[in-house]
A and B are shown apart, each in its own frame.
Chain A
Amino acid sequence: MVQPSSGDTRLRAAVIGTGGISKEHLGFLASSPRAELVGVCDLSPVAVAHAATTYATRPFSSVDEMITATRPEIIHVLTPPNTHLAIATTALRAGAHVVCEKPITLGAEDLEQLLSVARECDRHIVENHNYRFNPEIELLDGLLAAGSLGTVAEVEIRIGLPVTDPAGRFGDPNLTSPIHDLPAGVIHDFITHMVYLLAHFTPGVDWSTVDSQWNNHAGVAHFPVDDLDATLVGVGPDGAVHGRLRFSALMAPDCFEITVRGTEGYGQVELFSGRVSEVIPRPVGKQLAPIANMMIGGLALFAAGPRSLKRKIMQEGPYVGLAKFLDLTYEALGRGEAPPVTPDDMLTTSRLIDRLVAGRSPQIGAS
């Protein structure tokens, strides 16, 4: 078992995989007082050399060599999803905690196996649920905690990303990646975000109905489906709950909207722009409350403009929650406590994704 180095409270961290998301992880590790970046590993010598130079750490082309040489206490697994199970298992068995990109495995069965290894090794493994830690989601959490929304009755999550664009990473007809081979293709890479957010706002809900309509509207190469329209109905501790998940790989502009409707009011956020609005009971009486909500909503919308510009200039993109997720995870692990994303969170998410994907086959090719 790897032990923390004496006198240094920072956790020794290593990263496997230098793809697009690695910039966020490496940026956090290179600047966090809770972490000491000890190595980065990738099969591409030039990619790993560039990452090592940029973030002042040691480059490796072999996971085993990196583990032996650096004895990391936490390993970030940022490789394609089909490799997570094997690499995360190696990391856990080497005595390291694991932070793993989503989707953590290709299904709940593999996740159960991975969690079993983690328990056996007395290590933690956490899947990146970064958007849960974005300030807009925390605002919704605050409204719920304050009772402003009442009890949750409906959650609608909508992502529009024209990822079929041939000029983009996924729509390029010349190149496929392991992401294209996921059970629901490229959309599978995004639905983890939608499902963990749904689960976050509907704790304890037993979804009796999961109706997922998968469509292929455009027939773009390498996209088995380009659209998901799923409705869910369940019962939670406070009664019936409805869920709606919409993903379109064709719609522009980019959007990531979450609406949480309760018995008293609703909150709506858009994570890419940071726009927020809330319609809740106001202390001005029932008759004036709609007017107060409209005026406050108008001001909030107006304020979203400058805030969006500031975010753009200060490079505070939608990944702002990732740094917070990592910070909380490192803080917890440093104290020997459980990380903020629990095995139950991951299993609930993974099992629901399995149910969504199970409804895929009949709609393949439909338009």
Chain B
Amino acid sequence: MRVLITGATGFVGSYTVAAALEAGHEVTALVRPASKAPFAALDSHPRLTLARADLRDGRSLQGLFDEIDVVIHLAAAKSGDFATQFAGTVLSTENLLAAMTDSAVTRLVAISTFSVYDYTHLKAGSVIDERSPIEPNPLTRDEYAQTKLIQEQLYRDEMARREVVILRPGMIYGRDNLWHALLGGELGPLFLRIGRRAVLPMTYVENCVDAMVAAIDAPGVAGETINIVDDSLPTQAGYVTVLERQMEIPTSIPVPWPVMRSAAAVVAFANRRFAGGRAKFPGIIVPEKLDGRFKPFRYTNERAKALLGWTPRYSLETAFERSLSDVDLVAERAAVVS
């Protein structure tokens, strides 16, 4: 297949490019105009082409999709204010879909996120799967969740025009991204470790990109939404225990989940009672945002396995070993066929 990958220079994107090459696809990596030597290890790969454009500028996308069969759309803004993330995630996707309108692209592998679920109204301990409700009150959530929810609606609208498969990865971890937002949050100079027993909806980056690449040509997945999490998911404490054996972790203050959630509820009550709900506080003391990161649930990857024929390749321990090794993981994977 001729595959175009957006967000190709990002943390997940570079692994996705390598995995798509490994799978034998002709890959066009979409990189922004000012990106410098994004794939040093893959520069000479015979099946890799670079295309330079910025998705926020619709004019720069003309003609990019003439010779493309499948698009994996990874690009999104993960930080910044609402306007920044709206431009980087929503307007970018709108421009991408507009540029694809008259192209021969048959399938869009659309990367969404676990952040779209309605964590506040789901019962703690219940199983989150693809049928779980999505957030009905986006304004209570952070900018990332708000903009990804709008983006996902664009994906669903696109289903009328071509095959679209929506993948919702959990927290993606890997090299340089082992300590993450589901373990705690910053409050001023402090790092609070919130909770211990919640199961982490995580996927190791090399496992996750296998699922993305499987979605390129998996049969019968058009119109499907598929969660991507690994097998044998660790708890917060279990993850940190494994992590501590291999690297130094930030100094942090442990806070039990019920204590943090109760504190957030008190702050929310005071906000409604005394400030008409207009006061804005850091996300880790806002109930809905807190629920989205730390409320304990269970997760399943049965649908991903059934529809994509996917099995996570690496266990948590192996994933840590690979992440902390000196091996060029991107080059290693692409080199299989180069």
Given contact pairs A44-B94, A46-B150, A50-B90, A174 touches B34 in the complex (Cβ within 8 A): yes
Residues of B within 8 A of A46 (CB): 90-91, 94, 150, 154
Interface size in chain A (residues, C-beta < 8 A): 18
B119 to chain A, nearest CB (A): 22
The reply to whether the CB of A315 lies closer than 8 angstroms to some CB of chain B is yes
Interface locus among B216-224, B275-283, B290-298:
B275-283
A55 to chain B, nearest CB (A): 12
B279-A314 in contact (CB<8A):
yes
* CA A28 to CA B135, docked complex, whole Å: 26
* CA A101 to CA B56, docked complex, whole Å: 23
Residues of A within 8 A of B139 (CB): 54
Considering the complex, which residues of chain A in the window 77-104 have a beta carbon less than 8 Å from any beta carbon of chain B? none
* CA A241 to CA B32, docked complex, whole Å: 49
The reply to whether the CB of A313 lies closer than 8 angstroms to some CB of chain B is yes
Interface size in chain B (residues, C-beta < 8 A): 23
The reply to whether the CB of A175 lies closer than 8 angstroms to some CB of chain B is yes
* CA A345 to CA B33, docked complex, whole Å: 42
B271 nearest CB neighbor, chain A only: A313
* CA A154 to CA B86, docked complex, whole Å: 42
A61 to chain B, nearest CB (A): 12
Given contact pairs A169-B84, A313-B280, A314-B278, A45 touches B34 in the complex (Cβ within 8 A): no
A45-B94 in contact (CB<8A):
yes
Residues of A within 8 A of B255 (CB): none
Considering the complex, which residues of chain A in the window 305-348 have a beta carbon less than 8 Å from any beta carbon of chain B? 312-315
Considering the complex, which residues of chain B in the window 248-286 have a beta carbon less than 8 Å from any beta carbon of chain A? 275, 278-281
Given contact pairs A20-B83, A46-B154, A175-B56, A315 touches B278 in the complex (Cβ within 8 A): yes
* A-B contacts, 15 listed (Cβ < 8 Å): A20-B81, A20-B83, A46-B90, A46-B91, A46-B154, A47-B94, A50-B86, A50-B90, A50-B150, A169-B84, A173-B33, A175-B54, A175-B56, A221-B34, A313-B280
Binding site for B on A (CB under 8 A): 19-20, 23, 44-47, 50, 54, 169, 173-175, 221, 312-315
Question: Apart from A50-B90, A315-B280, what are 8 other A-B pairs with CB-CB below 8 Å?
Answer: A45-B94, A46-B154, A47-B94, A169-B83, A175-B57, A312-B280, A313-B279, A314-B279
